[in-house]
Amino acid sequence: PIPDQYRVFGNPIKQSRSPDIHHIFASKSQQIINYQKQLVDIDGFANAVADLIDQGGKGANVTAPFKEQALALADELTERASLAGAVNTLTFKEGKILGDNTDGEGLVQDLIINKVLLKQRRILLLGAGGAARGVLLPLLAQGPSAIVIANRTVSKAKDLCQHFNDERLSACSFAETTGQEFDLIINATSASLAGDLPPIPTSIINSKVVCYDMAYGKNETQFLQWAREQGAVDVIDGLGMLVGQAAVSFAIWRGVTPQVQPVIKKLRAALK
Ligand code: NDP
């Protein structure tokens, strides 16, 4: 049979591991797909999607800087995509473009795999950019008692609270987290990409708190290194979230939930 066609669109796109991840999912679940990365011109996104649909493509992942354009292009949106203000998964079905956002579910699933409890727990979310916004609804759905959003620009954290309109949400500066207790701290700032640390007080790290960084790489991020030194009970990087969001996309397209652990292991080995 001719394999069903999928793409990941982005600019840049060279770094994307999505084709490898999806092809491993497919081979392990006896699915036949062809998934390629495609570099798209900054003003060429809508055309790239239209071309893929013309060629009989079944779906696409979307990465920076096209997630907002994908949202605008979709005929129908899931609630989580609509609230995230961004789409990372497009499905072409019966002449319609369906938009979803699987980043938050990818994070939640990775937390569950790592046995991090969320129900009735207090979460500190660092950052108020696209990644933070994308994970809030799936996190809230897990029943935490509170999510405090701390951001360098506090007004952006306040805007997020307003946007999601949930009484469990509050906003503050990094310094204002002093004296508060958390079960889980999630770094959704891009500080790690610059080798920086969000300036949170050392006093909030203790032997009960789990620290998660959405960033990942060959070396442990600054944030996770620091949290480990301060005595956090566990530190986890964002590689599992990356594989998790791909797994949720794959399940949407193929109706099969793939195993993530072998893929995380493989990518981890390739990073070294
Ligand atoms: P954005 O550019 O949308 O937001 C960046 C955020 O980081 C803002 O809140 C910004 O604060 C804050 N920030 C930037 N630099 C610093 C610093 N030096 N100190 C403190 N805060 C800082 O980025 P995204 O939300 O798209 O991405 C955030 C991170 O999440 C990245 O590391 C990205 O790689 C990762 N990510 C990982 C995914 C995965 O699958 N593992 C998926 C998506 C994202 P301010 O508002 O004040 O500017």
Query: What lines the ligand 1 site, CB under 6 Å?
Result: 103, 127-132, 151-153, 156, 188-194, 196, 198, 214-215, 238, 241-242, 245
pLDDT exceeds cutoff 90 at 9:
yes
Ligand 1 atom nearest the C-alpha of 131 is 25
For position 173, what pLDDT does the model report? 98
* CA 214 to centroid of ligand 1, rounded, Å: 9
CB 61 within 8 A of CB 246: yes
Ligand 1, atom 34, residue with closest C-alpha: 215
Ligand 1, atom 16, lies closest to the CA of 191
- The yes/no answer to whether this complex scores an ipTM above 0.90 is yes
Ligand 1 mutation pick, 190, 213, 243, max ligand atoms within 8 A of CB: 190
Say how far residue 41 (Cα) sits from the centre of its chain: 23
- What is the rounded average pLDDT of the residues 61-77? 97
Q: What's the 32 CA to ligand 1 centre distance in angstroms?
A: 35
What value does the mean pLDDT take over residues 157-172? 97
Say how many Å lie between the CA of residue 197 and the centre of ligand 1.
Answer: 11
Which pLDDT band, with edges at 50, 70 and 90, does 262 fall under? very high
Task: Tell the residue nearest (CA) to atom 18 of ligand 1.
Answer: 191
Domain 104-237, CATH: 3.40.50.720
Residue 272, pLDDT score: 82
Q: Report how far ligand 1's centroid is from the alpha carbon of 16 (Å).
A: 18
Please state the domain extents for the chain: 4-101+240-271, 104-237
Centre of ligand 1 to C-alpha 57, Å, is 31
The domain 4-101+240-271 is classified under which CATH number: 3.40.50.10860, 3.90.700.10, 1.10.443.10, 3.40.50.10800? 3.40.50.10860
Nearest CA to ligand 1 atom 4: 129
The residues assigned a catalytic role are 67
pLDDT for residue 71: 98
Comparing 4-101+240-271 with 104-237, is the CATH topology the same?
A: yes
B/e letters for 15-53, b = 16+ CB within 10 Å, e = fewer, are: ebbbbbbbbbbbeebebebbbebbebeeeebeebbeebb
Residue nearest to atom 32 of ligand 1 (CA): 190
For the CA of 216, the nearest atom of ligand 1: 41
Tens of pLDDT, residue by residue over 188-224, are 999 988 888 999 999 999 999 999 999 999 999 999 9
pLDDT for 229-258, tens place per residue? 999 999 999 999 999 999 999 999 999 999
Q: What is the DSSP string of the chain?
A: -PPEEEEEEESS-TT--HHHHHHHHHHHTT--EEEEEEE--TT-HHHHHHHHHHTT--EEEE-TT-HHHHHHH-SEE-HHHHHHT---EEEEETTEEEEE--HHHHHHHHHHHTT---TT-EEEEE--SHHHHHHHHHHHTT--SEEEEE-SSHHHHHHHHHHHT-TTEEEE-SGGGTT---SEEEE-SSGGGGT------GGG--TT-EEEES---SSPPHHHHHHHHTT-SEEEETHHHHHHHHHHHHHHHHS-----HHHHHHHHHHH-
